[in-house]
């Protein structure tokens, strides 16, 4: 580990081996997290366009980085899916994100303080830097699967700057 990330990454686990006996098994317990998926249009939501892709990205990221989407009282994964445009972003227009934040605040974590919310890409959270900065004041960590676990809040801000309002999904 390089000291920036409280959790060892998969790369750290891969380095933990010697040439004679091969790689050691990764025995870290999965960390609990919340998944958040957003599509912009009702048509995308009805067709599933984008929803499955984001879910796959989050699942692969969780598997690789040793996270596990926490379960609710009924045993269902805490995966919040929202069909809402990012135009005019406010938490009042994002009830599923607001609910994810509330659940994450109640879940304590030794490394992150609270359970992180994982999104597939930063622009699925928002393309509005001011909205993202507002979310940072909620004191719930966000992890973008495309940026990795080493991306702290300052780096999230840096990723927005060149794009004048955030990166675009193609």
pLDDT per residue as tens digits for the range 115-163:
999 999 888 888 787 888 888 888 899 899 988 887 766 666 566 554 4
Element housing 69 (H / E): strand 67-69
User: Per mean pLDDT, which range of 18-32, 35-49, 149-163 is the poorest?
Assistant: 149-163
Instruction: Encode pLDDT of 45-70 as tens digits.
Output: 565 558 889 999 999 999 999 999 99
> What does the alpha-carbon distance between residue 134 and residue 82 come to, in Å, rounded to a whole number?
19
Given a cut of 90, whether residue 112 has pLDDT beyond it is no
Which is nearest to 9 in space by CA: 62, 69, 57, 79?
Answer: 62
The per-residue pLDDT for 100 is 96
Q: Considering the chain, what percentage of its residues have pLDDT values greater than 90?
A: 35
- The secondary structure of residue 67, as a DSSP letter, is E
- Pair type for strands 79-83 and 22-23: unpaired
pLDDT tier, 83 (very low <50, low <70, confident <90, very high otherwise): confident
Q: Which pair of structure tokens corresponds to residue 69?
A: 């989407």
Contact 150, 6 (CB under 8 A): no
Element housing 49 (H / E): none
Contact 53, 169 (CB under 8 A): no
The per-residue pLDDT for 155 is 64
Q: Choose between 19 and 37: higher pLDDT.
A: 37
Which residues, including other chains, have CB under 8 Å from residue 112's CB and lie 6 or more apart? 6, 31, 141
């Amino acid at each position: 580990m390089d000291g920036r990330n409280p959790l060892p990454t998969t790369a750290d686990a891969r380095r933990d081996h010697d040439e004679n006996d091969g790689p050691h098994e990764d025995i870290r317990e999965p960390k609990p997290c919340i998944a958040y998926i957003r599509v912009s249009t009702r048509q995308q939501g009805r067709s599933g366009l984008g929803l499955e892709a984001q879910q796959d990205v989050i699942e692969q990221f969780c598997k690789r980085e040793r996270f596990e989407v926490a379960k609710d009282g009924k045993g269902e994964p805490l995966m919040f899916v929202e069909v809402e445009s990012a135009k005019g972003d406010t938490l009042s227009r994002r009830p599923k994100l607001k609910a994810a934040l509330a659940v994450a605040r109640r879940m304590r974590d030794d490394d992150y303080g609270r359970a992180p919310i994982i999104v597939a890409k930063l622009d699925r959270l928002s393309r509005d830097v001011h909205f993202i900065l507002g979310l940072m004041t909620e004191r719930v960590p966000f992890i973008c699967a495309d940026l990795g676990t080493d991306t702290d809040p300052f780096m999230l801000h840096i990723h927005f700057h060149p794009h004048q309002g955030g990166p675009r999904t193609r």
